[in-house]
Amino acid sequence: MISQTININHRIGIKSDISNVYEALSTIKGLSGWWTEEVSGDSNVGGKINFFFRSLTGELQGQMVMEVTKSIANQAVHWRCLEGPQEWIGTDFQFNLTQQGEHTIVLFANLNWREYVEFTSHCSMKWATFLLSLRSLVEEGKGRPAPNDIKIDNWN
Amino acid sequence: MISQTININHRIGIKSDISNVYEALSTIKGLSGWWTEEVSGDSNVGGKINFFFRSLTGELQGQMVMEVTKSIANQAVHWRCLEGPQEWIGTDFQFNLTQQGEHTIVLFANLNWREYVEFTSHCSMKWATFLLSLRSLVEEGKGRPAPNDIKIDNWN
């Protein structure tokens, strides 16, 4: 049997100092500015962060719990998914940062899906739009966190 | 040796009849409305399509040649890359379509990268923005093809 890992990988550049990008990824307030408005928990290493996703009318549509497995100032924020969509549980999420001239480069990865399913494609597209939201937050002061996120298909 | 394939996969929904999406993917005029303004060649199966990417001041920055390996009305458009970035040559590009209620669902794939490199992450993000451009073209009549594409990082 051939072992394959299925990953989502994106690269985005943000015209800002790396410390601003790290702050948006490593604090509860920062995360609530670009991924989903409703975030709580402990964003230190070993802590658990709760993300709640609601419809525009307030109905709970999804919830994720991420354990912070790494948080190194201006370098990296890593999570492991403890609760959420079945396909996400046990997979790893990484934001790795480098400063390159006027850009902070974010290498995003969601690693170790057990198999490719159509939901993988949905999440890949959706993460791309959330990275654009992260960029808007850092560059312009306003992101598009859920429930005002960009809808991408009929699974939103 | 473990054989791994590295793929980019995205899913987007477009609120339009599937025939309009197929037209945007299967005709020279359609492709020039969302990927790059400068497209020429033969979009029939077995034909070769040339895509030219220029800077805003007209300088040639990149060129791809895709062979059309499948084109089935309202179902699928597939290409194989013959010329372009070294990492792309021999990889396959697929747009598979289904109608689901008011949405046409596009499953995009760029299959069989030989290895993961940072350029893979760049291309994954970039393809996501081009799929948003495809949706804008079909839903609103105007996409964002190069050279007016959304710039995503310092490799644009």
Average pLDDT over residues B66-88: 98
For chain B, say whether A98 makes contact (Cβ under 8 Å). Answer: no
The type of residue at B80 is R
Q: Which two tokens stand for residue B1?
A: 């040796």
- Average pLDDT on B76-83 reads 98
Percent of the residues in chain A that have a pLDDT greater than 70, as a whole number: 97
The tens digit of pLDDT for each residue in A81-109 reads 999 999 999 999 999 999 999 999 999 99
Q: How confident is the model at residue B4 (pLDDT cuts 50, 70, 90)?
A: low
Q: Which residues of A touch B105 (CB under 8 A)?
A: 153-154
A5 SS3 class: coil
The amino acid present at A113, given as its one-letter code, is W
Average pLDDT of span B107-124: 97
The number of residues in chain B equals: 156
Q: Does B4 touch chain A (CB under 8 A)?
A: yes
Per-residue DSSP letters for B89-113? Answer: TT-EEEEEEEEETTEEEEEEEEEEE
B45 and B141 in contact (C-beta within 8 Å)? no
> Model confidence over A115-124: pLDDT tens digits?
999 999 999 9
What one-character DSSP code corresponds to residue B155? T
Euclidean distance between the first and the last CA atom of chain B, given in angstroms as a whole number: 35
Please enumerate, as own/partner, the contacts of B61-65 that have beta carbons within 8 Å and a separation of 24 or more: B64/B88, B65/B41
Which contiguous run of DSSP H or E holds residue B131? helix B118-140
pLDDT confidence of residue A5: 80
B13 vs A154: CB contact, 8 Å cut-off? Answer: yes
**Cβ-Cβ contacts under 8 Å, A94 against chain B:** none
Is the CB of residue A130 less than 8 Å away from at least one CB of chain B?
Answer: no
CA of B154: which chain A residue's CA is closest? Answer: A13
Which residues in chain A are closer than 8 Å to B129, comparing Cβ atoms?
128, 132
Number of C-beta neighbours around residue B8 at 10 A = 24
A95 touches B at CB < 8 Å: no
Pick the closest to residue A77 from A25, A27, A150, A38 (CA basis): A25
The overall average pLDDT reported for chain B is 96
Give residue B37's pLDDT band: very low, low, confident or very high (50, 70, 90).
Answer: very high
**Prediction ipTM score:** 0.96
| Distance from the A112 Cα atom to the nearest Cα atom in chain B, whole angstroms | 12
Establish if A124 touches chain B: CB-CB under 8 angstroms: yes
- Is the pLDDT assigned to residue A140 strictly greater than 80? yes
Cα–Cα distance for residue pair A103/A90, rounded to 1 Å: 31
The per-residue pLDDT for range A36-71, each reduced to its tens digit, is: 999 999 999 999 999 999 999 999 999 999 999 999
Size of interface A-B (CB pairs under 8 A): 94
Average pLDDT over residues B76-97: 98
Buried (b) or exposed (e) across B76-90, using 16+ Cβ within 10 A?
Answer: bbbbbbeebeebbee
What is the layout of strands, in order, in the sheet containing A103-113?
A6-14, A103-113, A92-100, A76-83, A60-72, A48-54, A38-41
**A118-140 helix and A18-26 helix, angle to the nearest 10 degrees:** 130
Interface contact A124-B2, CB threshold 8 A = no
Statement: B6-140 belongs to CATH 3.40.640.10: no
Angle between helices B118-140 and B18-26 (to 10 degrees): 130
Alpha-carbon dihedral angle through residues A3, A109, B12, A143, given to the nearest 10 degrees: 170
How many Cα atoms are found within 13 Å in the side-chain-facing hemisphere of B20? 18
Out of A118, A120, A125, the one facing B128 most closely (by C-beta) is: A125
pLDDT of B5 reads: 80
| Interchain pair B3, A8: CB under 8 A | no
Q: pLDDT grade, residue B141 (50/70/90)?
A: very high
User: Is A48 at the interface with chain B, CB within 8 A?
Assistant: no
| Number of continuous H segments (helices) and E segments (strands) in chain A | 3, 7
- CA angle (B139, A145, B96) in 5-degree steps: 40
